[in-house]
Structure 1
Amino acid sequence: MVEKGNGAGDQSGHKPATDINAFLKSEPFWLAAAFVTGLSVIFMTLVAAANAVFTLTGTELADRVDVIYKLALIGVGVVTFCTVVWRGLISARQADAQRDQIAKLAEQSRASERSNLAGLLQKGAELIAEKDHPARVAAGIASLQAVGEGSEDRYGTQAMEILADYLEGLGSRAFTSPLGKSAINALADITKRTNRWAARTISFSNDPEDYDPEYDFRFSAITGVFEVHYGGGSFLSEEFSAKTTSPTGYRFDRTTFDECEINMRCGQWDRCTFETVKFTVADFRRSTKGTYENCDFSGCSVFAPETFPDLRAGRNWCDPKNPPVFSRGAKDFDWTHKLDTAPTADFIDDDDDGSLFGPSK
């Protein structure tokens, strides 16, 4: 019984405070307070003034009128205060109502957009599957790109996954057909504009044993997915850097790179051939059984320098005024034991200043 009484006491102790707060935030209370105060001031002012006029004269009357005037001013101030609070409560209520309305409209807009994106995603998936109708596939790619660049991460990622699956389904034709190139560009644009990427690892293979010299097949870099595997094939004048390919990772097997710019930390390079390549970052822990010919390592940032092989046999070189640098700070090293110090004739372009990649900056 005692505990029950204490519980009731606690409840009765908290309830009045809540009631008072609610009462003080009540618009009718402050309106009534202003009304009652105003009437009281008028009534008391009239009564006091009448009493002073009929009972006092001279200096006493003047003093009494002065007192009545000051008290009336105080009353007017109280009325003004109550009125200001009342109007403030009304404004706050209206502002809250507007915020609630805006929030509801925003939620309705988001719900409508989600519904539209879901419908567009479904339609895009249906269109891109109609491989016998190129026009519909193109419409499907455009629809999926619109979803990918939309405001909903979930639908955007799903759209990118559908595009990635479509590309993998095309195989080598993904790099030669107009629709494949459109899908590759769509993935790149979505990633560039939204920083989204598909949780997909896709693979492409073009075995050198099946290579037709009359059919100059080349890969191109795909971005916007978790990882891409390339087997065989070749790349021409592609750039593999953290800026151009992030967050996509790469794995290459028996692939040829010609006149490319490469950061080796962007992928894993197995039995690859590099010809007249400009290396910006070298990490030979990521490369196995590679072949290097006429490659430029000038200014290259080198990781794990103990793994850097002797590449002079392949006529690979660096500018002696701009040698490779160790990633963890400059160190004195004689690069003539690893690289030539001038490009070969095969590397020089007669149209520029002597470097395949233009004048050094």
Structure 2
Amino acid sequence: MADRYDSPVGDKPSITETQWQAAAIASALLSIILGIAGSFWILGLVPPEAIAPDDMAARGRALTPIGTFLIAIVTFCTVAWRAKVTERQANAQERQNASADENNLAILLEKGAELTGSDDKQKELAGLACLSAVVTAENRRFGGEGLSLLGRYIQENHPKKFSSYLPRIALQALRDGYRNGNSSPVKLRVNGDSEVVRWEPIWGVGGVNFRYGTVRDWPDEFDECPTANTFFKVSFETIKIAVDFRTFKGCKFTECEIIELNTRIGDTNTFTECNFSGCIMNFELNEERLDLETFFKDKNYYIEGNPPLPPHGFDSFDWSRYLRKQPRYPFGGEED
């Protein structure tokens, strides 16, 4: 059976290591045979005849280019064969190193899972360091598993607040792991209860459901993060945000600037004293018609001269029927 390293790689034909070795040996043997035959011819031994010294010299000069060519062929085949041998050895070493790396990463993954489940903060920190090493490693064999463990660590140990140093380390490791090309299908749920929270995006996981809590700070990273985020009964206050009923369910928005709204009949989100100036109304008013008077009843408004855009299917729309029209200069001032 042929050695597996003899097989050419890729679609293009290639000369294998064994073939180069055979060519080197064959060319060397041929050179020896031709060298002996040439020596006999130069000395007049084949065929037997008396040769003058000048004729011997002439014959030697005649065979010199041939000898040089044969030596070059032997050298070329030998060098090519040795190059193939070196390549095989390097590939074998690379596979051995990769296998060792995977074993080390598997150990780090197991150790990280063990330490992050500890009640000792120092052990937790060491566990996060292990998992961070796994998800940022060049070998991504266990990257997805590392992200899953990091995400579950946040869900189980720090579901309410991300502000302390341990969850922030985990969040950064998730971001770094995602940027390293890893991803995890795991879906998480974090619960803010009634506390004021600062939710931040969790990178690299399949989805996150943020529940309850009051949000007064909306990081721009949410718009960049590809994770499928949903929010359930979360209160948002004084932030600038785009609202989609598929992402926000049963949420309350108070004194927020709504830059885009996608809603439908049965939408349970509520708005109080929110600014809809220039808002993109990304929905349709169909035959069943949304009850806009009820939907926008709680002192919501737009600045005069900058009403929301018309809903789909309308060239223009009188939003003053449903939203308060607030003067641009409420204290009677004028633009300079």
Q: Distance in 2 between matches of 1:135 and 1:343?
A: 57
Distance 1:160 1:51 in 2: 88
Task: Provide the C-alpha distance between the structure 2 equivalents of 1:77 and 1:39, rounded to a whole number of angstroms.
Answer: 16
1:283 matched to 2:262? The reply is yes
Residue 242 (structure 2) pairs with residue 257 (structure 1): no
Compared CA separation, residues 242 and 171, structure 1 to 2 (3 A): closer
**SS of residue matched to 2:208:** strand
Say if 1:240 and 1:263, in contact at 8 Å, map to a contact too. no
CA drift at 1:112: 1.7
- Residue 201 of structure 2 corresponds to 221
Distance 1:216 1:265, change over 3 A: closer
| Percent of aligned pairs with the same amino acid | 19
Q: 1:105 to 1:315 in 2, by over 3 A?
A: same
AA at the equivalent of 1:250: N
Q: What is the TM-score with the length of structure 1 in the denominator?
A: 0.66
CA distance in 1, matches of 2:265, 2:96: 51
Paired position in structure 2 for 1:44: 41
TM-superposed CA distance for 1:38, in Å, is 3.2
List aligned pairs for 1:1-361, cutoff 5 A.
Answer: 25-47=22-44, 75-131=63-119, 133-170=120-157, 172-191=159-178, 193-207=179-193, 211=194, 216-239=196-219, 244-246=224-226, 248-264=227-243, 268-277=247-256, 282-284=261-263, 288-292=267-271, 293-296=273-276, 298=278, 300=280, 303-306=282-285, 310=292, 314-317=299-302, 333-334=315-316, 336-337=318-319
Shift of 1:39: 3.7
Structure 1 gaps, min length 5: 1-20, 55-60, 347-352, 354-361
Higher helix share: 1
Deviation at 1:139, TM superposition (A): 1.6
Whole-Å Cα distance in 2 between the matches of residues 240 and 80 of structure 1?
Answer: 73
Work out whether residues 234 and 255 of structure 1, in 8 Å CA contact, stay in contact via their aligned partners in 2: yes
Hey, what's the Cα distance between the residues in 2 that align with 1:227 and 1:124? 22
CA distance in 2, matches of 1:261, 1:151: 38
Preserved CA contact (<8 Å) 1:168 1:174: no
Deviation at 1:95, TM superposition (A): 0.9
The one-letter code matched in structure 1 to 2:110 is Q
Query: Structure 1 residues 241, 216: CA separation in 2 closer, same or farther (over 3 Å shift)?
Result: closer
Compute the displacement of 1:81 (Å): 3.1
Matched residue type, 1:121: L
CA distance in structure 1 between the partners assigned to 2:27 and 2:224 by the alignment: 65
Give the drift of 1:187: 1.9
Paired positions, count: 301
Which TM-score applies when normalising by structure 2? Answer: 0.71
- Counterparts of 1:85 and 1:266, CA distance in 2: 76
CA-CA distance at 1:344 after TM superposition: 7.2
Q: Secondary structure at the match of 1:229?
A: strand
Q: What is the Cα-based RMSD across aligned positions, in Å?
A: 4.2
Q: Using the alignment, how far apart are the partners of 1:235 and 1:334 within structure 2?
A: 34
